[in-house]
Every structure is written in C-alpha cells, then in structure tokens.
Amino acid sequence: MAVQVATNSQGLLPGSPSPADPMAGLRVAVTGGSAGLGLALVKELIARGARVAFVARNRANLERVAEDHPPAHGIVGDVSLKDDIHPIAMQITGELGGLDVLINNASSLGPVPLALLGDTACEDLERALTTNLLGPFRLTKALLGALAASGREGRGAVVVNISSDAALNPYPRWGAYGASKAALHHLTRIWNEELAGEGIQCLSVDPGDMDTALHALAAPDADPAALRRPEVSAREILNNLVSVLPQRSPSGGENR
C-alpha cells in the first residue's frame, strides 16, 4: 500500500493544485458533469487547478455538485436540444472568460433496456443521435470561435469527445448507441484534420467499462467490482490531454 504524506514536495496539502500542473488555470467545459465519468472529470480538474464549467439536465443534482466542488460552475441544459446549445455555450464562455478544452461526455444509450435494431423505436435512435452526435457537433460549432482564440494564444485548444468500444465493435443490442458513437468517432477524426490550421485538436477517447449509472442501465447483471472506477478513467483522460497541451512555464505562460 502507498504511504500517505501530509504535504507534497512543494509543501502543498494533498489535493492542492500544483502551480506547475499544466492543468492549472486551464478553462474546461464538461458536458454530463454531475455523475459518473463527467463528475470524476470535474473533481480531478478542480483538484488540479483548472477552471471548470459543467452541464447537466437535473438542476438539483447539478447544484449539489457545484456546491460540493467549488469553484466549479454548473449550467443547466440538455445537449440534445438545439435551443439549449447557444445558452450553454454563452454561459461557458461568460463564466470562464473563454475556453481551452471542451469535453463532450453527456450520452444516451437510446433504448433502455437495450434492444435489437429491429425492435428499436425510431425515437430511441433519434435520442441517441441527438445526444451523442448532434449535441457535441452543435456545441463544438458554437464554441469554435472561443477555441480558436485559445489556439491563437497558444493555450492549447482541445475538444475531447468521449467514445466507446461500441463505436468500433458491432455488439448486438447496442445498435443505436454504437452507431451514434461510431459517427461521433469519425466526426472527431475529420474535425481534427479540418481544425488543425486553427490550432484546435480533436480527440476521441474510449474510457473503458466503468461502474456508472449508464453501465448499470445497459448491463444490469454486470459485477460492479469487475468494472473500472470512473476516477481511474478520468485521470487517464486528463493525462492524455496534458500530453497534447503546449508546454507552459510554471508562471502560466506558454514556452515557445
């Protein structure tokens, strides 16, 4: 077992952001930040000194998370609704004073319980597509100007789209979700090519099978002990993110 120390090498309390952490001061928005992987990302980002805005539909849960994790800023909104996108985008940039990283994490399974495609209602496929594909597309589009400004300033403009192994593997009964994640994965790759000139990078990341509410809905018989903790996936995703950010000096300015 690892030995716990009272302070780290810089004399900071455990959990205090290190001024040298590339996450310190980074302006990050996370959709679906009130539970599961999104909540784990919000917690880890705050612990590492990032400035965070997060989105979810349920106001009570969102307010509880915001209260428990100051100074994270909660935004009530549904990424599957076209009319919610611009209000969400404006609150993100207004609250953070711009944006460096957008993490499109909110997701829908489509039909619950999962169903064969032949038994999937068109409305369930539509919900998976509007939440998992159109929502990230619209929100990214609405935030392109802010991300391009971050890229110009050398702060490291990145869009992280949360994918799934169901994007690549044709699992029976995962048709609506898998098709939406496959489309998101490919959209991400194309956007990464198209936005390179703006200094914006787009990453598609599979977090692995995690012990979350979404997984319990999809696979109620799965043993939670056999699944990853969302905190583990969140840490890996943020370490990947750090690896693509420009090097910044400890004072917060970037090294050229």
Stretch binding ligand NAP (CB under 6 A), from 6-14, 138-146, 168-176, 210-218 = 210-218
Handedness of CA 138, 52, 98, 18 (dihedral sign): negative
Tell me which amino acid residue 117 is.
L
State which residue has the least CB distance to ligand NAP: 36
DSSP string spanning 189-255?
HHHHHHHGGGTEEEEEE---SBSSHHHHHH-TTS-GGGSBPHHHHHHHHHHHHHHHSPPB-TTSPBP
Closest CA to 54 of 103, 109, 107: 103
Q: Which of 137, 174, 177, 191 is catalytic?
A: 177
Catalytic site includes residue 171 = no
Q: Where are the alpha helices (DSSP H) in 72-174?
A: 82-96, 122-129, 135-142, 144-152
CA-to-CA dists, residue 8 to 15, 44, 101, angstroms = 9, 17, 27
Query: Where on the phi/psi map is residue 154: left (φ > 0), alpha (ψ -120 to 50), or beta?
Result: left
Query: Binding pattern to ligand NAP, positions 168-207, x when CB under 6 A?
Result: ---------------------------------------x
Tokens of 187: 């959209």
Site for ligand NAP in 96-155 (CB under 6 A): 105-108, 131
Segment near ligand NAP (CB under 6 A); pick from 19-27, 95-103, 189-197, 211-219: 211-219
Whole-angstrom distance, CA of residue 184 vs CA of residue 190: 10
Q: Where in 25-44 is the site for ligand NAP (CB under 6 A)?
A: 31-38
User: Given candidates 140, 150, 201, 212, which one binds ligand NAP under the rule CB under 6 A?
Assistant: 212
Name the residue nearer to ligand NAP (CB basis): 33 or 151. Answer: 33
Least separation in angstroms between CB 43 and ligand NAP: 13
> Which residue among 29, 53, 55, 101 contacts ligand NAP (CB under 6 A)?
55
Closest C-alpha to 75, from 32, 44, 134: 32
Tell me if 61 contacts ligand NAP by CB under 6 A.
yes
Which C-beta is closer to ligand NAP: that of 128 or that of 157?
128
Residues in contact with ligand NAP, counted by CB under 6 A, come to a total of: 31
Residue recorded with tokens 């999937």: 120
Site residues, ligand NAP (CB under 6 A):
31-38, 55-58, 61, 78-80, 105-108, 131, 162, 164, 207, 209-210, 212-215, 230
Which residues have a catalytic role annotated? Answer: 177
